Structure 1
Amino acid sequence: MRRFAAFVGPGYLVAVGYMDPGNWATSIAGGSRFGYTLLAVALVSNIMAIVLQSLCARLAIASGRDLAQACRDAYPRWTSYPLWLLAEIAIIATDIAEVVGTAIGFNLIFGLPLEIGVAVTALDVFLILYLQRIGFRYLEALVMALLAVITLCFAVQIGLADPEWGAVIRGFAPTTEIVANPEMLYLALGILGATVMPHNLYLHSAIVQTRAWGSSEAEKREALRFATIDSTAALMFALFINAAILILAAAVFHSSGRTEIAEIGEAHTLLVPLLGSALAPVLFGIALLCSGLNSTVTATLAGQAVMEGFINMRVRPWLRRLVTRAIAIVPAVIATVYYGEGGTGKLLILTQVALSLQLSFAVVPLVQFTADRRKMGALTAPAWLAATASLIALIIIVLNAKLVMDFAASGFDTSVL
């Protein structure tokens, strides 16, 4: 148990990325518009995430390299540099969601205007730097404490909403309607991108290496087993949060005919009259703020791992954080100033779809490397695991291709999305 306890932590840092404010936007929009139907997408996405994150741990423990470093080792610059740029774009897209979500959280709890809240989010870098300075385990402790707060908030809100549990259970069964309906597919891919996030694959393979394991095959296998248990348990928490947001939206909004709800702030406001409790919206705001702060930590760590891994460039963490956050703040400010809350909701969903479109460029190398015996040795992914991961990669590629084709067939009409 002491050995296992030493490996607990990285999985929860990764799981944070699976319940960031971008997830909130896609789950609220999906639940209010389509009821419990997209719960199947949340479940399948979580299963994909469990498989892919286990491969990340396997790559790190077997080769001693994270995914970004492995790409730099295996590919020429004309391949690895575009992959690095795509990973950076994914991190910026994630950061946009965190900026907007945290600003909305400040607005809901403290009444801070969105424009000011967006600017305040730039200060979170100092909290992260302080925690990194005093020790990585303190950073993990903060993340796990905030996860506990989020879980408690949603447990209370689901109890107040009292959903139709039979419909909830049926919602976890996949249906072909999800792929056939372009609007549903768009939100489904948003949920997929918000769940199986590209930067988390780079992050997990990097932070697993903060643990010490021996050089023997038996010690590495033990480390892999503990790391996989850690990430799987953490991702089950993430599934609970994502499903809870969608269930809450379906039970409160879809069931009452409010199928157009897609904004986090609007959802917060309507919880009071529809649930009949002043407690739910307060818990909603607290959970959102915790989610935004938590996701900021993981995006910062992922940014460092990606830059150092792909181009072997070390930048001071505060500078790296401020540059990424500055790039993310620009579209967030434009959306909040010119379009108000309506613009922020659409921006959040768009960032998650962008993550889904970039996911293939991280998943394919991961599957390739973990199936390579020359790189992995005795810990090469078994045939069944490699086949499962390959199928996941194929599904992601096909669904993204269909979304792009639907968009092109509409004459690039954004109203179909």
Structure 2
Amino acid sequence: MSNEKNGWLRESSGVSLEEVNSTIDVRNKKGFWRKLLAFAGPGSLVAVGYVDPGNWATSIAGGARFGYLLLSVILISNLIAVLLQSLSAKLGIVTGKDLAQATSASVGKKMSIFLWIITELAIIATDLAEVIGSAIALNLLFGIPLLAGIAITTLDVLLLLYLQRKGFRIIESIVIVLMATIFIVFVFEVISSKPEVSALFAGFVPRTEIITDPSMLFIALGILGATVMPHNLYLHSSIVQTRNYERTLKGKKEAIKFSLIDSGFSLTVAFLINSAILILGAAAFYGTKLDVTEIEAAYNLLSPTLGVGIASTLFAVALLASGQNSTITGTISGQIVMEGFINLRITPWMRRLITRLLAVIPAFIVTWIAGSKGTGELLLWSQVILSLALPFAVVPLVKFTSDKKKMGEFVNSLPIKILAWTSTVVIIILNVFLIGYIVVTGHDLG
């Protein structure tokens, strides 16, 4: 790794030169499993964004209102996520630039600023979900009022700064432990809910009513926005470079292979968790005539409905783990896109404080005015905002990785190009349809 590259890593991701060289050097690792372990980590950080509190709101609402029908949306979203995240990692490994840097180098200054603003809004929407989710979890577990819980979440900034000083491996390890906690909780919850197995598997088959029913499409787009998150594409293309691999043809091929295994495994775990959340919502609440479109309602009704006393408490513990997990990646992503698009470098603590305050302020105002119902609606809409911002990240990513001049022999093959562009077109068409419907009818799809 060159000094120039080390310097870029230190400035853009907050990882110091010593941390990169001493803890994540993969050049001298021998054997498949040792190398895989050395490369493992970035996939977990990326997968965190796929199981944040925003996913909970959309998946619970989808399961409670439409049964298992939207499991197919989770499956398709996850397949798209695996494809796009693999392209993101490949871009970073091959070019030595993250997606924000590559995009900025290909467009004018005004367009860079525009794309930065769009991406910042998506990151704020992401952070908003984490703020609300953590505040709700604190309220459910300890009775802390929502407004106080929202204020407490600003302290996450100090926690993240402390973790980063300890090294990137520490952050990755904590994320993996929290992900495992969430996974174990939902395995227990799903088993306790006794879902109808035949209907469950049938839910993974796509149905036309998902597109034709606007209210179902709204939730489906929320799931898509909560699963394939734009900031994750910028994040992945950057953090794969925290591995000190040989910058040769062979070294890049090896890095791409292990990165694909790492992210594929982590995103599969995220897929299982997201599916479990929707399955839980469907098995526990669909057809009961209970109004369960908010996380608090799910918590209050879960134990009585399942007949398992600890079910609600475990649900809240997993929610708190999810919120704390996601704040780590959201704030790192914010610094990456700010530096990549507009080359603005500010101190890490200031960057994280700004990002968090931009999420805390609207959450605080909505909670003050509308209470818990307002936060639930804000959580759902934050995920739709992510879905609307997604094409601005996906189009450049697919374009760059399909460019022979930029990627050389690592350019996307024809089948990958077809799949990637098809996914991009589907995302854009669904978003245009949703916006058009809202503008024309003025319906409240929430």
Query: For residues 445 and 204 of structure 2, what CA distance do their matches in structure 1 show?
Result: 25
Match of 1:406 in 2: 437
Residue range with higher mean Cα deviation, 333-342 or 297-306: 333-342
Q: Please say if residues 161 and 252 of structure 1, whose CA atoms lie closer than 8 Å, have aligned partners that are also in contact.
A: yes
Match of 1:356 in 2: 387
* Deviation per residue, 1:240-277 (Å, 9 max, x gap): 1111110000000004232x311101110001211111
1:321 pairs with 2:372? no
1:150 pairs with 2:189? no
Match of 2:233 in 1: 201
| Matching residue's letter, 2:45 | L
> 1:405 Cα shift?
1.0
Aligned residue pair count: 414
Query: For residues 286 and 366 of structure 2, what CA distance do their matches in structure 1 show?
Result: 26
Q: Could you tell me which of 144, 167, 177 is aligned with 1:112?
A: 144
Query: For residues 354 and 74 of structure 2, what CA distance do their matches in structure 1 show?
Result: 32
Runs of 4+ in 1 over 3 A off after TM superposition: none
1:71 pairs with 2:112? no
Q: Please say if residues 217 and 378 of structure 1, whose CA atoms lie closer than 8 Å, have aligned partners that are also in contact.
A: no
Match of 1:309 in 2: 340
| Matching residue's letter, 2:140 | L
* Deviation per residue, 1:67-105 (Å, 9 max, x gap): 000011111112211111100000000011000000001
1:341 pairs with 2:372? yes
Match of 2:200 in 1: 168
**Partner of 2:390: helix, strand, or coil?**
helix
**Partner of 1:215: helix, strand, or coil?**
coil
Query: For residues 110 and 420 of structure 2, what CA distance do their matches in structure 1 show?
Result: 26
Query: For residues 445 and 174 of structure 2, what CA distance do their matches in structure 1 show?
Result: 41
> 1:7 Cα shift?
0.8
> 1:381 Cα shift?
1.3
Query: For residues 214 and 272 of structure 1, what CA distance do their matches in structure 2 show?
Result: 53
* Deviation per residue, 1:40-61 (Å, 9 max, x gap): 0000000000000000011011
| Matching residue's letter, 1:82 | F
> 1:169 Cα shift?
0.1
What are the residue-to-residue correspondences of 1:134-283 with 2, within 5 Å? 134-258=166-290, 260-283=291-314
Q: Could you tell me which of 136, 143, 157 is aligned with 1:125?
A: 157
In the superposition, the TM-score normalised over structure 1's length comes to: 0.98
| Matching residue's letter, 1:179 | I
Q: Please say if residues 87 and 199 of structure 1, whose CA atoms lie closer than 8 Å, have aligned partners that are also in contact.
A: yes
> 1:416 Cα shift?
3.6
Query: For residues 195 and 280 of structure 1, what CA distance do their matches in structure 2 show?
Result: 25
* Deviation per residue, 1:165-199 (Å, 9 max, x gap): 11110000001100000000000000000000000
Query: For residues 414 and 408 of structure 2, what CA distance do their matches in structure 1 show?
Result: 14
Query: For residues 399 and 226 of structure 2, what CA distance do their matches in structure 1 show?
Result: 23
Q: Please say if residues 51 and 389 of structure 1, whose CA atoms lie closer than 8 Å, have aligned partners that are also in contact.
A: yes
1:18 pairs with 2:45? no
Match of 1:293 in 2: 324
> 1:215 Cα shift?
2.2
Q: Please say if residues 14 and 200 of structure 1, whose CA atoms lie closer than 8 Å, have aligned partners that are also in contact.
A: yes
> 1:333 Cα shift?
0.8
| Matching residue's letter, 2:72 | A
Percent same amino acid among aligned pairs? Answer: 53
Q: Could you tell me which of 350, 357, 378 is aligned with 2:409?
A: 378
Q: Structure 1, unaligned stretches of length 5 or more?
A: none
> 1:409 Cα shift?
1.8
Query: For residues 69 and 140 of structure 1, what CA distance do their matches in structure 2 show?
Result: 24
Query: For residues 245 and 104 of structure 2, what CA distance do their matches in structure 1 show?
Result: 24
Q: Please say if residues 157 and 356 of structure 2, whose CA atoms lie closer than 8 Å, have aligned partners that are also in contact.
A: no
Query: For residues 272 and 62 of structure 1, what CA distance do their matches in structure 2 show?
Result: 50
* Deviation per residue, 1:101-127 (Å, 9 max, x gap): 000010111111000000000001111
Q: Please say if residues 72 and 203 of structure 2, whose CA atoms lie closer than 8 Å, have aligned partners that are also in contact.
A: yes
Match of 2:125 in 1: 93
Query: For residues 252 and 303 of structure 2, what CA distance do their matches in structure 1 show?
Result: 52
Query: For residues 182 and 155 of structure 2, what CA distance do their matches in structure 1 show?
Result: 22
1:50 pairs with 2:65? no
Match of 1:29 in 2: 61
Q: Please say if residues 99 and 329 of structure 1, whose CA atoms lie closer than 8 Å, have aligned partners that are also in contact.
A: yes
Query: For residues 98 and 256 of structure 2, what CA distance do their matches in structure 1 show?
Result: 14
Query: For residues 75 and 126 of structure 1, what CA distance do their matches in structure 2 show?
Result: 35
Q: Please say if residues 369 and 375 of structure 1, whose CA atoms lie closer than 8 Å, have aligned partners that are also in contact.
A: yes
Query: For residues 200 and 363 of structure 1, what CA distance do their matches in structure 2 show?
Result: 11
Query: For residues 174 and 159 of structure 2, what CA distance do their matches in structure 1 show?
Result: 11
> 1:4 Cα shift?
1.4
In the superposition, the TM-score normalised over structure 2's length comes to: 0.92
